[in-house]
């Protein structure tokens, strides 16, 4: 007997199927006749995808700068898995790990290469904070929690240290099994060309569509040669919307050149969740629908692509044996006005609306799902 059977779930290619879950895993897909403890008929009206993964959040509640609760940016918004991008370093990763064990959302961490984490904006201005032994010990203590490293490479973070923190990050990466390395880009120095030339296959450039002068496009609107070379080597582009790192103009121009994001992420924390412009991962995803990506492209960026980029082997796909993490959502036709991190507006007519998340086989309605009460889980 299955634990949960979703009947007539609409997939993003608009096919309709049944999905059965047992023991925290996807047990069967297709036309299913077996009994289940609970059956929910979605009547072909509601979309179901693999659980959404937000590759870049800040949800360490004890951070003095960028903080939130894991479930506030995760399960309550239809997101089943979040990856905290460098809020904690080696000094506070143990505390963060303990907190996440109480969350419903599945939480992972990109370890800040500064052992003090994000206690201030300039955590890489003091090279003494970049302690390779502390990083190695933290990774060894939490091998299933730390899924990568994070280096914030903009002038306000590195101070007078230029490219040196990234050089050290690459050395630490090699010492720790070539974990994925996410690199924040922003104002220079260091110059983006220096950053891109140091990156290798599997590394991630986040804030890829920021509107700052040190962006991926040249003044003439072409992709920088160094970024072209990096993408050719297998470097991945992550959105990381945030409060100051996403421009509609840059995104439209880059996507028009065929430079699509590998992952769509929010860079969410309490302030930009409550006050905007981020609000939620669904809101950020909706912006990319408005720019011109298709629904399957957008969903792939928060499921399969996200799981592959961070080596989450049993997530991101609707397939037998994968984690029973699902997101149930609607794509609603309604007028909506979006804003980017530069306060530019974009009028759109579609909004992704998460109704529920299923995490390890258990269902949780979002606020919208509870208010509308279209089904029970």
Give CA–CA dist 71/56, Å, rounded: 14
DSSP per-residue codes, 230-293 = HHHHT-EEE---TTTS--HHHHHHHHHTT---SB----B-HHHHHSSS---HHHHHHHHHHHT-
Q: Residues annotated in the binding site, as ranges?
A: 56, 58, 150, 184, 207, 267
Q: Residues annotated in the binding site for Zn(2+), as ranges?
A: 56, 58, 150, 184, 207, 267
DSSP per-residue codes, 51-94 = PEEEEEE---TT-SSS---HHHHTGGGTEEEEEEESS--TTTHH
DSSP per-residue codes, 207-222 = STT--STTSSB-TTSP
Give CA–CA dist 313/11, Å, rounded: 21
Give CA–CA dist 215/212, Å, rounded: 6
Helix (H, G, I), strand (E, B) or coil at 135: helix
Nearest Cα to 26, choosing from 314, 346, 331, 229?
Answer: 314
Residue 41 makes CB contacts below 8 A (sequence gap 6+) with: 7, 8, 375
Nearest Cα to 374, choosing from 51, 77, 40, 104?
Answer: 40
What sign does the CA torsion over 118, 123, 127, 128 have?
A: negative
Give CA–CA dist 52/16, Å, rounded: 19
Number of H helices, E strands in the chain: 13, 15
């Amino acid at each position: 007997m299955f634990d949960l059977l979703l009947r007539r779930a609409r997939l993003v290619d608009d096919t309709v199927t049944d999905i059965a879950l047992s023991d925290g895993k996807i047990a069967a897909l297709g036309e299913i006749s077996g009994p289940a403890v609970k059956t929910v008929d979605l009547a072909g009206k509601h979309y179901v995808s693999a659980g959404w993964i937000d590759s870049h959040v800040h949800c360490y509640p004890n951070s003095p700068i960028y903080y939130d609760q894991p479930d506030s940016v995760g399960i309550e918004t239809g997101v089943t898995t979040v990856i905290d991008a460098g809020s904690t370093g080696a000094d506070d990763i143990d505390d963060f790990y303990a907190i996440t064990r109480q969350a419903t959302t599945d939480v992972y961490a990109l370890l800040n290469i500064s052992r003090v984490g994000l206690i201030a904006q300039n955590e890489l201005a003091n090279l003494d904070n970049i302690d390779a032994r502390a990083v190695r010990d933290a990774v060894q203590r939490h091998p299933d929690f730390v899924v990568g490293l994070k280096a914030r490479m903009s002038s306000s973070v590195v101070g007078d240290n230029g490219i040196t923190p990234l050089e050290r990050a690459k050395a630490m990466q090699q010492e720790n099994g070539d974990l994925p390395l996410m690199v924040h880009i922003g104002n220079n120095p260091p110059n983006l060309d220096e950053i891109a030339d140091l990156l290798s296959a599997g590394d991630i450039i986040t804030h890829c569509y920021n509107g700052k002068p040190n962006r991926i496009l040249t003044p003439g609107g072409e992709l920088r040669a160094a970024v072209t070379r990096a993408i050719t080597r297998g470097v991945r582009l992550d959105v990381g919307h945030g409060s100051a790192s996403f421009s509609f103009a840059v995104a439209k121009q880059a996507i028009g050149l065929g430079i699509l994001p590998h992952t769509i992420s929010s860079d969410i924390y309490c302030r930009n969740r409550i006050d905007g412009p981020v609000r939620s991962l669904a809101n950020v995803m909706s912006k990319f629908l408005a720019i011109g990506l298709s629904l399957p492209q957008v969903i792939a960026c928060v499921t399969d692509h996200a799981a592959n980029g961070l080596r989450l082997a049993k997530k991101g796909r609707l397939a037998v044996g994968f984690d029973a993490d699902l997101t149930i959502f609607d794509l609603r036709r309604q007028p909506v006005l979006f804003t980017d991190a530069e306060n530019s507006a974009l009028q759109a007519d579609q909004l992704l609306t998460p109704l529920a998340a299923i995490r390890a086989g258990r269902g949780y309605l979002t606020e919208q799902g509870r208010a509308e009460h279209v089904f029970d889980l």
